[in-house]
Structure 1
Amino acid sequence: MTRCVHRVYPACVSITDEELALTAAQAGAAVVHGMYGATLTRFQKSAGDFATAADIEAENAILDVIRTARPDDAVVGEESGRTGSGAAERTWLVDPLCGTLNYAARSMLVAVNVALHVGSDVTVAASADPFAGEVFWTDGTRAYVRRDGVDEELTPSPDSRLVDVNLDPPFPNEPGFRAVRLLAEPGFIERFRPRVVSTTLAVAWVAAGRRAAYVTDGHLRDNVHFAAGIALCQAAGCVVTGIHGQPLHTGVGGLVVAADQETHAELLDLIDR
């Protein structure tokens, strides 16, 4: 699907869905990068959770790109909620700044996530790293990282032995599963090295071979934080399941994404303990 985009480019040109996802993610990343280090207004959302002015501005930049190019599509933004027709077949999922706590503490571990949901599938997605100048993206078939306008296909690898574990609440499967206990499991320490990045940038890193795996609890269907990263990992050929190895978004939920079957099987065994 193509449509002319006047505000993104000086001339009227056609843009594919995957290029639109890339352009939107880059627009958000430019805002996040530009506002880094400033004293930012905070908007309290719930106990322990807040947005900053950078979250709001980045989301506005992303929405402007999408709405200009695809005015008939619906959008679900983390900060603005759902806009557009409730009957729209196409819905963009937007997370303008994943890792707000990191960002507010002046840590550069953040991601800007954009994904397009068509029917029951995520067809294109992009996850931008505002500070590394990289955008991980997929056209739904293969996955790439774009640096300086050049695309390199992603290749998962378990070689780093680094496993990111998300420790952020909620924990819907406790007491049966709580991620923090996985970090203390002797078998986990023998086989892997834990990391806690606290942003879904780490999900993209599994697709890129920079992490062996990623583990989180939670119900993640149509989740603005995780949709892009999951799509990237699936397109790159990672093993992607729920927390107990069940099909994604079924049963108790959760997510285990691993570079290969062996790593995935070892993590499931440790989780079952």
Structure 2
Amino acid sequence: MATRSALINVMVRAAEKAARGLVRDFGEVEHLQVSRKGPADFVSAADLKAERTLREELQKGRPEFGFLMEESGASKGSDAEARWIVDPLDGTTNFLHGLPHWAISIAAERNGEIVAGVIYAPIGDQLFWAEKGAGAFVNHTRLRVSERRRLEDCVLATGIPFKGRGDHAGFLKEQEAVMKEVAGIRRFGAASLDLAYTAAGRFDAYWERGLAPWDCAAGVLMVTEAGGFVGEIEGGRNPVFTGNVLATNSHLQVPVARLLKSAKG
């Protein structure tokens, strides 16, 4: 059985406490679908409540850490080199529509490097966690990226731009280039879980542009610790802060990057 460090345990306790409130709120979403006001304001309130819970619990465990949080932004702690990077509800649109594919994502950053990550999907009770140099796990099972080498056997995940966000025309070119070569493309709507699933070998590769650090920080470490490759789509090595992420198993980085590059013509 995998042994979790004290740092991981702090993160897990915070995620599990925030999850209890989110699960209760998720049970109310379907009743709100028919209300005149609609569920958007309710989900925003659920998001903020989860973020407050996470901040309180993480501060108890590591009071010296700063924060980078989706809703409340950045704040410094007494240790200028350490901070939490937190998404209290990744997959908000899924949550809003009663779809059970959403997660809490927490990463610990020290000296500009992600050293630990937790991604918790409460519906289904899947706890993904990783620590630098110690591997990646789901609950107590070790994670390994897939071993598939032939694109025609592979399923890739991505994020699709939506109204007001992203390069729609550019994405369609990338999708066309990729879909002709692979067994399938999936879009599930939660970047943290796309990365966790890549770490688990459920997806063979994943790409997305325009992510925020809280969307991908924990997941990037997860894939790396599961034996995969993570970099920028254009070839750089700092995807957490550029937001353009390519994550693959150890065999597919070059062929998938080549396909995405070909879409630029």
Shorter-chain TM-score range: 0.7 to 0.9
Matched, 1:267 2:260: no
Q: How far apart are 1:232 and its partner, in Å?
A: 0.7
- Out of 13, 25, 35, the residue aligned to residue 23 of structure 1 is 13
Q: How far apart are 1:189 and its partner, in Å?
A: 3.0
Q: How far apart are 1:58 and its partner, in Å?
A: 1.3
CA contact 2:230–2:247 (8 Å) conserved in 1: yes
- Out of 218, 221, 229, the residue aligned to residue 219 of structure 2 is 229
Deviates more, 1:242-251 or 1:136-145: 242-251
Corresponding residue SS for 1:38 = helix
1:143 matched residue in structure 2: 136
Quick one: distance in 2 between partners of 1:88 and 1:117? Answer: 11
Matched, 1:162 2:155: yes
CA contact 1:36–1:106 (8 Å) conserved in 2: yes
Q: How far apart are 1:182 and its partner, in Å?
A: 2.2
CA contact 2:40–2:96 (8 Å) conserved in 1: no
1:232-258 per-position Cα deviation (integer Å, ceiling 9, x unaligned) = 111111111111233234997611100
- Out of 118, 129, 138, the residue aligned to residue 121 of structure 2 is 129
Runs of 5+ consecutive residues of structure 2 not aligned to the other structure: 33-38
Matches within 5 A, 1:66-215: 66-85=58-77, 88-141=80-133, 142-146=135-139, 151-159=140-148, 161-168=154-161, 170-171=165-166, 174=167, 178-185=170-177, 188-200=179-191, 201-215=193-207
Corresponding residue SS for 1:36 = helix
- Out of 12, 37, 52, the residue aligned to residue 44 of structure 2 is 52
1:9 matched residue in structure 2: none
1:77-125 per-position Cα deviation (integer Å, ceiling 9, x unaligned) = 2112223438622100110000101100000111110011111211111
Q: How far apart are 1:158 and its partner, in Å?
A: 4.9
Q: How far apart are 1:51 and its partner, in Å?
A: 5.5
Quick one: distance in 2 between partners of 1:265 and 1:83? Answer: 38
Deviates more, 1:211-220 or 1:115-124: 211-220
The structure with the largest helix share of the pair is 2
Q: How far apart are 1:218 and its partner, in Å?
A: 2.5
Quick one: distance in 2 between partners of 1:265 and 1:271? Answer: 10
Q: In structure 2, do the counterparts of structure 1 residues 251 and 112 end up closer, same or farther at CA, with 3 Å as the change threshold?
A: closer
Corresponding residue SS for 1:136 = strand
1:37 matched residue in structure 2: 27
Runs of 5+ consecutive residues of structure 1 not aligned to the other structure: 1-14, 44-49
CA contact 1:217–1:253 (8 Å) conserved in 2: yes
Q: List 4+ stretches of structure 1 deviating above 6 A.
A: none
Deviates more, 1:20-29 or 1:243-252: 243-252
Q: How far apart are 1:270 and its partner, in Å?
A: 1.1
Q: In structure 2, do the counterparts of structure 1 residues 219 and 95 end up closer, same or farther at CA, with 3 Å as the change threshold?
A: closer
2:35 matched residue in structure 1: none
Q: How far apart are 1:35 and its partner, in Å?
A: 1.2
Corresponding residue SS for 1:230 = helix
Corresponding residue SS for 1:260 = coil
Report the TM-score, using the length of structure 2 for normalisation.
0.82
**What is the RMSD of the two structures over their aligned residues, measured on CA atoms?**
2.5
Quick one: distance in 2 between partners of 1:117 and 1:250? Answer: 11
- Number of residue-to-residue matches in the alignment: 242
Report the TM-score, using the length of structure 1 for normalisation.
0.80
CA contact 2:81–2:112 (8 Å) conserved in 1: no
Quick one: distance in 1 between partners of 2:8 and 2:77? Answer: 22
CA contact 2:83–2:109 (8 Å) conserved in 1: yes
Given residue 269 of structure 1, which amino acid in structure 2 is its aligned partner? R
